[in-house]
Structure 1
C-alpha cells in the first residue's frame, strides 16, 4: 500500500469518527438538527480541505521516495555513478544525503576491489615473467652441458658461471618477494634503536667502493656539523640506502657525481641520494615505487633488477613512520629521499 493511501485512510478514519460522534450527540439530543447539519458540513469541508492539502504535501515525499527507489535499483544493477537530489522535507533531505554518502563509499570500495584484482593479476604476470627468464636460461645451459655440446674448457666454465649467476638472480628474486611480503604483512618485529646517519652513510659507501671506482664516480657527502641520532633499524635502513645508491650508480654517467646528504627536517631526519643520470619523466615518478614497476619497458636484466627494490624501500621507510619520494627532471638527474624520526631522549 502506498504512503498516500495510508495517509488518506487515516484522514478518512478521523473524519468518520468525528461524524459518528456528531450523530451520537444528535441522537442523545445534545445537538439540534441545525447544529448537526452545520457541524457535519464543517467536518466534511475540513476533511475535503485536508485531503487536498495532503495530496499537495505528499507529492514531494512520493517523488523523493521514488527517486531513492530508482537509484537503489541502479546500484543493485552495479551502477554506482548515481546521486539522489536533496529535495522534500528535512528528514528526506537527510535520508538522501546519507544515501549519497553510502553510494560514494560503495563506489570507492568497488573501485579499490577492482584495482586490487588488477594489481593481483599484474603481480602474478610479473612474478611469472621474472621467474621464467632465469629458469629458462638455466634449463638451456644445463641441457647443453648434458648433451656434451660444449667441448672446450673455457666455454664450459662460462656456461657454469652463467648458471651460477642466474641461480643467484633467482634466489635474490625469491628473497625479495619474501621480504616484501613479510614487510607488508607486518611480520617483522619493529625494534628501532638510536643511530647516527653519518656512520650509516659511510659504511654503505664502503660497500659500493668497487662499483664507484669502476665508473669513476665522484661522491660528495653533505652533512651538517651536528646531526641528531634517528630511530631506526640499521640493517633495514642500510638496505634502503643501498638500493638508492645502487640505482644512482647504475644510472649515473661515467665520471659523474653522486651527492649523499642528510639534514634535520622538523622531527625527522631527511636522507637523500642525488645523481646526474637521465632523470625520470613526471608520469613515471607516480608509479616508480610500485612492485615490479620498471621504467625499462623491455625488462632487460642488464638494465635493472626485478623492480622490487624501491617497493621494499618504501615498505621499510613506512614501517619506521617516515616517507619516501623522488624529485626528478628529465635529462637533469634524480634525487631520491626518505625520512626517519629523530631520536628524542627522555
Structure 2
C-alpha cells in the first residue's frame, strides 16, 4: 500500500513540477506584456530627456518633471552642475572626470531611473531623474556579431542556471511528495497492522497515531471497534463457560437421583422376597429421588421459559402491604416446623404496585426455602417493607450462617449454591435464586444480596410503585 500510494503522490507532484515550469514561463510573458501596457503611463517614459532638451539649457522647462516627483540637472563639459531643479541625486556642484564616469556607469544599479542625453551644440549633459517604482533588471539580448567564445560561455551559464533551477525544483518536489505521502502512509500502515492483529485474534490491540486530524477520528473508531469486539468475545467466552458448567451441573444433579432410582428399582425387581418394610423403604427412596429429579427438570423448564423472548407476566394492581402479609402468613408453618423465629414489619398504609401475584410470591417462597435449607434451628427470619421515591423495597433478612463472600457475586447464577457438597439433604436445585431474580426483573425491579459473612444475609426485592 505504501509503495503504490507514495508513487501516486510522486506522479502527482511531477505533474505539478511541469505545471510550475510552464507557469514560470507564462509569468515572465505576462510581466513583459504588463510592462508594455503600463510603460507609456510611467512618469519616466512620459518625460524623457529628449522631450525637454534645448540647445540653450536656460530655456529647458523642468516644471513637468519636478511636478511628477523628478529632477533635472545639467552638467557642462567641465563636469560642473550648472543647472539643478527638483530631485538631486548628484549632491555636488563640481564633479571630477572619475566621479562623473562612475555616476554614468553605476546609474542603473541605483533605486532611481536616469535618462542622460548629451547636447553637442550646447556642450552639456542633460540628466532627468525619477524615483524607480519597481524595476526587474532582466533582459535577453543576442548579437550575432559577438565573439563565439563569449556566446558559448554566456549560453553555458544560462543553461547551467536553468538546470540548477530545474534540479532544485525537482528535488523539492520529490522530497515534498515523500513527506506528504509519509503523513498518510505511516498512519495507514499502523492501522493496517492493527487490523491484521485484530484479524489474527489479538483483540487487545489498540492504535495510537498521535494525530489530531481525520486519522484521529479513524483511530478512535478503530479502537472503539476493537474494544467492543474484545468485550463481545469476552462475553461469548464467559457465556460458553457458563453453558459448559450448566451442562455439567445438570448432568451431575440428575445423575445422582436417577442412579438411585435405577439401583433401588433393580433391587426390588431382582429380590421379590424382600421384607415388606425394607421394600417400602426402597420405594420411599425411589419416590424421593424421582420428586427431586422432577423438581430439577421443572425448574430448568421454568428458567428456560424466563430466558425466552416470549416470556411475560400478567401484572394487576395490587395493594403490596396486604399482599405481603398474606405471603408471610403462608411462610409461618414452614418456619415453625424448621424451628425458626420470625418477625414481620409491614406498614399499615397502602402501597400499590403492578404484580403478577402468583409469580411474585415465588420470590419470597424461594428465599424462605433457601433460608430453611441452609441455616440451623433457632435462626430468626425478618421480613420488612419500605416505600419511597416511587419504589418499594422488601427486606428478607436472616441471622443464620450467611453466604460466603466469594459467592456473593455469583449466587444468582444457575446451580450456584452455598452448600458445595451438593448433597441431597441440604443441596437444592441451585436454580431458586436465579428464578427469583428473573421474576423481580420482569416486574421492573431487581433482587440483590447484602451479605455480612457469618452474620446472616439480607436480600432486597425492589419493585416500582404506582
Length-normalised TM-score, structure 1: 0.89
1:164 aligns with 2:164: no
The CA deviation string for residues 81-139 of structure 1, in whole angstroms up to 9 with x for no partner, is 11111334511111111111111111111111111111111111111111211111110
Residues 232 and 320 of structure 1 are in contact (CA less than 8 Å); yes or no, is this contact kept in structure 2?
yes
Number of the residue aligned with 1:144: 267
Alignment of 1:72-91 (within 5 A): 72-88=195-211, 90-91=213-214
Residues 15 and 44 of structure 1 are in contact (CA less than 8 Å); yes or no, is this contact kept in structure 2?
no
Partner residue of 2:4 out of 2, 5, 28: 2
- Where 2:385 maps in the other structure, the secondary structure is strand
Structure 2: stretches of 5+ with no match in the other structure: 34-137, 142-157
Number of the residue aligned with 1:296: 419
Length-normalised TM-score, structure 2: 0.67
Higher Rg: 2
Number of the residue aligned with 1:15: 17
The structural deviation recorded for 1:294 is: 1.2
- How many residues were matched structurally? 341
Quick one: distance in 2 between partners of 1:149 and 1:46?
Answer: 111
Number of the residue aligned with 1:65: 188
Q: Which runs of 4+ in 1 moved over 6 A?
A: 21-27, 30-33, 35-41
Residues 402 and 457 of structure 2 are in contact (CA less than 8 Å); yes or no, is this contact kept in structure 1?
yes
Quick one: distance in 1 between partners of 2:383 and 2:328?
Answer: 10
Alignment of 1:122-271 (within 5 A): 122-148=245-271, 151-271=274-394
- Structure 1 21/315 Cα, relative in aligned 2: closer, same or farther at 3 Å? same
Quick one: distance in 2 between partners of 1:211 and 1:45?
Answer: 99
More helix by share: 1
Number of the residue aligned with 2:448: 325
Quick one: distance in 2 between partners of 1:22 and 1:256?
Answer: 100
- Structure 1 181/281 Cα, relative in aligned 2: closer, same or farther at 3 Å? same
Quick one: distance in 1 between partners of 2:351 and 2:14?
Answer: 83
Quick one: distance in 2 between partners of 1:121 and 1:208?
Answer: 36
| Cα RMSD, aligned residues only | 2.7
Number of the residue aligned with 2:132: none
Quick one: distance in 2 between partners of 1:89 and 1:239?
Answer: 57
The CA deviation string for residues 139-195 of structure 1, in whole angstroms up to 9 with x for no partner, is 011001101166221221121121111111111111111111111114333221111
- Structure 1 22/54 Cα, relative in aligned 2: closer, same or farther at 3 Å? closer
Residues 259 and 275 of structure 1 are in contact (CA less than 8 Å); yes or no, is this contact kept in structure 2?
yes
Q: Give the stretch that moved more between structures: 237-246 or 207-216.
A: 207-216
Number of the residue aligned with 1:108: 231
The CA deviation string for residues 278-327 of structure 1, in whole angstroms up to 9 with x for no partner, is 11122211000001111222111211211000000111111111011111
Quick one: distance in 1 between partners of 2:381 and 2:210?
Answer: 63
The CA deviation string for residues 187-212 of structure 1, in whole angstroms up to 9 with x for no partner, is 33322111123333333334333332
Residues 321 and 348 of structure 2 are in contact (CA less than 8 Å); yes or no, is this contact kept in structure 1?
no
- Where 2:311 maps in the other structure, the secondary structure is coil
Quick one: distance in 2 between partners of 1:215 and 1:299?
Answer: 20
The structural deviation recorded for 1:26 is: 10
- Structure 1 33/303 Cα, relative in aligned 2: closer, same or farther at 3 Å? farther
Residues 269 and 340 of structure 1 are in contact (CA less than 8 Å); yes or no, is this contact kept in structure 2?
yes
Residues 83 and 100 of structure 1 are in contact (CA less than 8 Å); yes or no, is this contact kept in structure 2?
yes
